[in-house]
Chains A and B, each alone.
Chain A
Amino acid sequence: MAEDGDNKRDDGSPPKPDPPGYFKGESMTRRRVFEVTVQALGGGAVAIVALPAVGFTLAPVLDEEDVIWTPVGAPGDFEEATYKEAVITIVEDVGETGKTTAYIRRGSPDLGESADEFVAVSNRCAHAGCPTRFVEAAGNFICPCHGGVYDFQGKVIGGPPVRPLDRFQTRISNGQVEVGPRYSVTSQLEPVRARDPGEFTGGVWEYIYPPRPSVPPPP
């Protein structure tokens, strides 16, 4: 591009002829205008195709999952001292894949819980996601995969799990105890948004494993 009509080159070579259509004081050559226009139009055309595709692929990350409440029995069916097992649906229309197991009991005042509430503990191990089982004789949840052990409340007492067992929200509706969306807990059993297995909760871990918009807020 020539500046101020001064066509002399620094190396002393003969002056470059003005390009066709050049006028004194122009800030952009005709060629450059076309280059920028074509690049912009091309970029726009690509964006029209690419942005919806990217959004379409990434949408599930931002979309909050549907909340499903599964009735599991009358309030009288549940005791304080032991869990009752129930298979609940967490994803609809996918058959067996969308089901999981919850262990449900009435809140125990001995453990600092209200006797009116119901505690639904997920059987999903907080280490790698294997199904744990509540072993009545030991009063513990035990995971078959890597030896994770949780106490009666679901707190870790042995093995590799990084946080207590997840829980499900509970409510009473039409005289039935209903089990709803999953939430995770910190080591002090404070509710936080549901995390995947293997992710720590509480303190600085809330920043290292940030809450996801795809799960509902904790109770």
Chain B
Amino acid sequence: MRFPQALIPSPLRKPAEPGEKAPGDGGGPIERAKDVPADVVGWVDERTGTTGFLTGLLYRKVPKGTNWFYTLGSATLFAFVFQALTGVFLAMYYTPSPTEAYDSVTHLTNDVFLGEFVRGMHKWGATVMIIVIFLHMGRVFFFGAYKYPRELNWVIGATLLILTLIMGLTGYLLPFDQRSYWATVVANNIIGTGPVLGPYLADFLRAGPEVGATTIQRFYAIHMLLVPGLMIALIGAHLYLVVKLGTTAPPWLRAESKPKSLRRREV
């Protein structure tokens, strides 16, 4: 594969091999333009090996009986990507300060073009993500897909579930209305009731003994930087293991242990 010939000025082009059609020789500019996409793909592929990777990823074997329940993991991934995208746009208008957060959310919802829609998507998307992640977990559990050799992927998945719930908890504070303020106060107090380390953990989350100026900034940083970063890394590991280990067949399918010709037949 070559760098797209159409993009190279003619004096710089390599002369054609004998027998090969010289670039720019046959066909008009339209003919040559048609080759550009293939040439670009080829140029990237030669240097990255993307095609081999994508072929392994997309054309991998899946067991018989794979059904719609197997899409729940992708649904969760889609919900995460969706939350990440809408979150980026919300962050453009949001101010993480105890005196301005509520006003910035009000402004974003009422004044910004389509702001209510984007915020609504983020809010309802969060609920959707919690629902599909639990359905996905249920699918894995009831299909026995957590068993050897996929235990590690179950552990990673459970960690992702906990991180998703942390996202829900930290995101709940950000609108900073009465509901989110008191929900956070109560959640922090529940964290504080953990023995020995609880009081210190609550102080860490609040950045002090009372909800103050840095609490909301801390929650914001955890919500938009720390936990999403961890989740992206763990989702990568999760998908790697899914592709490497393959998926399990549904439990109602039995392995065919003997070839058909050897099976006992009732005569």
The answer to whether B210 and A61 have CB atoms under 8 Å apart is no
CA distance A150 to B198 in the complex (A): 25
- Tell whether A198 pairs with B208 under 8 Å between CB atoms, given A60-B214, A97-B181, A210-B196: no
Please name the residue on chain A nearest to B182 by beta carbon: A130
Which range contains the number of B residues in contact with the other chain? 20 to 34
Asked if B195 is an interface residue, CB under 8 A from chain A, the answer is yes
A91 interface residue per 8 A CB criterion: yes
Q: B213 near A198 (CB under 8 angstroms)?
A: no
| Stretch from B127-135, B142-150, B158-166, B183-191 contacting the other chain | B183-191
Q: Are B185 and A214 in contact (CB under 8 A)?
A: no
How many Å from the CB of B192 to the closest CB on chain A?
4
Q: A69 vs B181: C-alpha distance in the bound complex, in angstroms?
A: 24
Q: How far is the CA of A54 from the CA of B81 in the complex (A)?
A: 29
A93 touches B213 (CB 8 A): yes
CB distance from B97 to the nearest CB of A (A): 8
Check A196 against B202 for contact (C-beta < 8 Å): yes
Task: Check B56 for interface membership: any CB of A closer than 8 A.
Answer: no
Q: Are the C-beta atoms of B211 and A212 separated by less than 8 Å?
A: no
Cβ of A5 under 8 Å from chain B:
no
Name the residue on A nearest B197 (C-beta): A210
- A164 to B114 CA separation, bound complex (whole angstroms): 49
Give chain A interface residues in 84-109, CB to chain B under 8 Å.
90-91, 93-95, 97-98
Does B213 contact A94, Cβ atoms closer than 8 Å? Answer: yes
Does residue A2 face the partner (Cβ distance < 8 Å to B)? no
Chain A residues whose CB sits within 8 angstroms of the CB of B212 once the complex forms: 91, 94, 97-98
With A60-B204, A128-B190, A199-B198 already in contact, the answer to whether A98 and B210 are too (CB < 8 A) is yes
Q: Is the CB of A199 within 8 A of B208?
A: no
A208 & B195 in contact (Cβ 8 Å cutoff): yes
A188 CA to B28 CA, complexed, in Å: 97
Task: Find out whether the CB atom of A60 lies under 8 angstroms from the CB atom of B192.
Answer: no
CB of A53 to closest CB in B, whole Å? 12
- Is A129 on the interface with B (CB-CB < 8 A)? yes
Which A-chain residue is minimally distant from B207 (CB atoms)? A60
Question: How far does the Cβ of B101 sit from chain A's closest Cβ, in whole Å?
Answer: 10
B193 at the binding interface (Cβ < 8 Å): yes
Q: Which of A93, A128, A194, A196 has the most CB of B within 10 A?
A: A196
Residue B154 is within 8 A (CB to CB) of chain A in the complex: no
Q: Are B189 and A196 in contact (CB under 8 A)?
A: yes
Chain A residues with Cβ below 8 Å from B213 are 91, 93-94
Whether a CB of chain B sits under 8 angstroms from the CB of A75 is: no
Chain A residue with minimal CB distance to B199? A212
Q: How far is the CB of B82 from chain A (nearest CB, A)?
A: 29
Nearest-CB residue, chain B, relative to A194: B209
Contact B207 A195 (CB under 8 A): no
Q: Does A215 contact B (CB under 8 A)?
A: yes
Taken together as a complex, chains A and B put the C-alpha atoms of A212 and B193 apart, in Å, by 13
B204-231 toward A: CB 8 Å interface, digit per residue (1/0)?
1011111111100000000000000000
Given A63-B208, A209-B198, A212-B200, 18 additional A-B pairs, CB 8 A: A60-B204, A61-B200, A61-B204, A65-B210, A94-B98, A97-B181, A97-B212, A129-B185, A182-B209, A196-B188, A196-B199, A197-B192, A198-B189, A198-B193, A199-B198, A208-B195, A209-B199, A210-B199
9 A-B pairs with the lowest CB-CB distances in the bound complex, closest first: A196-B192, A60-B207, A198-B193, A91-B212, A94-B98, A95-B99, A197-B189, A97-B98, A61-B203
